[in-house]
Amino acid sequence: MYDIIGDVHGYAVKLKKLLLEMGYQKTNGSYSHPARKAIFVGDFINRGPEIRKTIRIIKAMVESGNAYAILGNHELNAIIYHLKDKEGRSIISKPSKYFLSLFKTINEYSAGSKELDEQLRWMRTLPLYLDLGEIRIVHACWCEDAIKVADTLYEDGRIRKKVFRKVYKKSSSEEAKSVWRLTKGVNLKFPSDIRVISNKGVSPRSFRIRWWDNLEGMTFKDASFESKFSMPAYTIPTEIIPKTFPYPDDAPIVFFGHYCRGAGPYIIKHNVCCVDSCVAGTKSLLAYRWSGEKELDMNHLVKI
């Protein structure tokens, strides 16, 4: 039986409280449960006040066999940010907004920290998804084609640095598209005549969408899976609809994070669940306690 835990984002105290609430105890340096195993859906770094402690907790649980963890887009950005070229310089010439959130993580470590290097190496051993038969776990989007590519990226139990360099430098490669599909999902670009304002006062040019649905005939509002702004309620022009990956009703339950669902809902349909409770904003951490059921049950959600 498994406890699927949403994006922790450096909130170690919240994570400890959640684990204790679910019956985990710390023994021999790791939290464990006599009959269950935790699964972390990625994005355990950045944003929060205790990133270093958070990584230590999750890493210890994984290495002791008490948990699984997969990569999120924040871990990918951390790995890429620390890659060097042949001259020993960072491959990032100008950090984009996606790398700026890393500074909070980096600031928790001293310059040249061996601990950070060790943790980054450990992150490269983590899978991009889990298929456990009756349940599936991915950070942002379950895409069979992307999964097939992901399976080819591991060598000797880890993703080699050369793969991450390609993911960063060759964004049109199948490797890059597949990795980002699994960890960032599907975005729809706004037409030039539409402008919306986010809760941070900026006007984004794309938004996160319901990748598990067929968007034909949907409005922008209905297609959106965005928590930062509201969308207009008119139909999306067919020519700008991106490819989605409709999730079959008879497929195993899929769990994911990424979407910052502070107000929910978390259970989207009987076999689709987002466990990201937007801890940085809500100060609440969410888990789903799966106990073998074929359909999701609201009563199995735990929030602390």
Pairing of strands 272-274, 135-138: unpaired
CA distance 118 to 56: 11
pLDDT of res. 205: 85
- Count the neighbouring beta carbons within 10 Å of the beta carbon of residue 213: 18
What Cα–Cα distance (Å) separates residue 98 from each residue in 84, 168, 190, 195, 204?
A: 18, 12, 20, 22, 14
pLDDT of res. 193: 82
- Asked whether the beta carbons of 294 and 274 are under 8 A apart, the reply is no
CA distance 9 to 40: 11
Amino acid at 304: I
CA distance 166 to 4: 31
* pTM metric for this prediction: 0.96
pLDDT of res. 244: 97
Computed on alpha carbons and rounded to an integer, the radius of gyration of the chain in Å comes to 19
Neighbouring C-alpha atoms within 13 Å toward the C-beta of 155: 7
Tell me the pLDDT of the chain (304 aa) as tens digits.
999 999 999 999 999 999 999 999 999 999 999 999 999 999 999 999 999 999 999 999 999 999 999 999 999 999 999 998 888 888 887 767 777 888 889 899 876 689 999 999 999 999 999 999 999 999 999 999 999 999 999 999 999 999 999 999 998 999 999 999 999 999 999 888 888 887 777 788 899 999 999 999 999 999 999 877 778 898 999 999 999 999 999 999 999 999 999 989 999 999 999 999 999 999 999 999 999 999 999 999 999 9
Q: Going by C-beta distance under 8 Å and a sequence separation of 6 or more, which residues neighbour residue 287? A: 3, 4, 5, 6, 18, 22, 38, 275, 301, 302, 303
pLDDT of res. 200: 74
pLDDT of res. 222: 95
What Cα–Cα distance (Å) separates residue 67 from each residue in 1, 40, 117, 223, 288?
A: 11, 8, 22, 34, 14
Task: Report the Cα–Cα distance between both ends of the chain, in Å, rounded.
Answer: 20
- Count the neighbouring beta carbons within 10 Å of the beta carbon of residue 85: 10
DSSP state of 226: -
- Asked whether the beta carbons of 80 and 91 are under 8 A apart, the reply is yes
pLDDT of res. 203: 83
pLDDT of res. 273: 98
Q: Tokens standing for 14?
A: 């919240």
Q: Please name the helix (run of DSSP H) or strand (run of DSSP E) that holds residue 40, with its range, or none.
A: strand 37-40
The superfamily CATH assigns to domain 2-183+248-303 is Metallo-dependent phosphatases (3.60.21.10)
Q: Where are the domains of the chain?
A: 2-183+248-303, 187-244
pLDDT of res. 204: 82
Amino acid at 269: K
CA distance 160 to 121: 10
Q: Going by C-beta distance under 8 Å and a sequence separation of 6 or more, which residues neighbour residue 43? A: 7, 8, 9, 72, 73, 74, 75, 139, 257, 258, 276
CA distance 156 to 248: 34
